[in-house]
């Protein structure tokens, strides 16, 4: 066995725990009051989006969806309407890993953080300019 083969022989793809760690570190870097407000949003990490979600969005290839915000954006919330489910940010592990490999020009943690921040932007009603100011992203 070569040194390179030995190096990769015990390697496994990053699991949901790795993604959770990146989300936690990303939340910790958000300026107040965003970090505190974002901490109340549920985060769901799955390998792929559920079939019903893909169908509702009209997406046939599950690799096309890396993340999704489900909930009512803060800019549209009303005290008169109570949500049926908690605001949730979904991160889809396999499509994110696939994009990471296909790009080959970004660290995995940065890509996970980017997808998370993009979905968080839907919750807060941020524009692309807001995202660049609040949570800078470098392409």
pLDDT tens digits, 45-58:
999 999 999 999 99
What token pair was written down for 72?
A: 């009512």
pLDDT at residue 1 above 90? Answer: no
Task: Decide if 7 is inside a domain.
Answer: no
Sheet holding 88-92, edge to edge: 42-46, 88-92, 67-70
CA 134 to chain centre: 16
> How far apart, in whole angstroms, are the C-alpha atoms of residue 61 and residue 117?
23
Number of H helices, E strands in the chain: 7, 3
Confidence of residue 71 (pLDDT cuts 50, 70, 90): confident
What token pair was written down for 43?
A: 């985060």
The H-or-E segment that residue 70 falls in is strand 67-70
Q: How many Å is the maximal CA-CA distance in the chain?
A: 66
Task: Decide if 1 is inside a domain.
Answer: no
Task: Decide if 39 is inside a domain.
Answer: yes
Domain count, the chain: 1
CA 138 to chain centre: 16
pLDDT at residue 2 above 50? Answer: yes
pLDDT in tens, 25-41: 999 888 887 888 888 89
pTM of this prediction? Answer: 0.85
> How far apart, in whole angstroms, are the C-alpha atoms of residue 25 and residue 102?
24
Average pLDDT over residues 79-102: 88
CATH of the domain at 98: 3.30.2010.20
Task: Decide if 78 is inside a domain.
Answer: no
Instruction: Domain of residue 55: give its range.
Output: 13-72+83-134
| pLDDT: which is higher, 76 or 54 | 54
- Any idea which of 31-40, 95-104, 106-115 has the lowest mean pLDDT? 31-40
Average pLDDT, the chain: 86
């Amino acid at each position: 066995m070569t040194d390179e083969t030995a190096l990769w022989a015990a390697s496994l793809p990053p699991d949901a725990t790795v993604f959770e760690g990146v989300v936690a570190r990303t939340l910790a870097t958000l300026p107040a009051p965003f970090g505190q407000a974002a901490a109340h949003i549920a985060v769901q990490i799955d390998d792929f989006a559920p079939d019903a979600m893909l169908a509702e969005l009209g997406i046939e290839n599950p690799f096309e969806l890396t993340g999704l915000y489900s909930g009512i954006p803060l800019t549209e919330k009303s005290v008169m309407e109570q949500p049926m489910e908690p605001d949730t940010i979904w991160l889809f592990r396999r499509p994110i890993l696939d994009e990471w490999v296909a790009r080959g020009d970004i660290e995995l943690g940065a890509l996970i953080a980017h997808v998370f921040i993009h979905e968080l932007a839907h919750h807060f009603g941020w524009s692309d300019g807001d995202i660049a100011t609040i949570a800078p992203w470098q392409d």
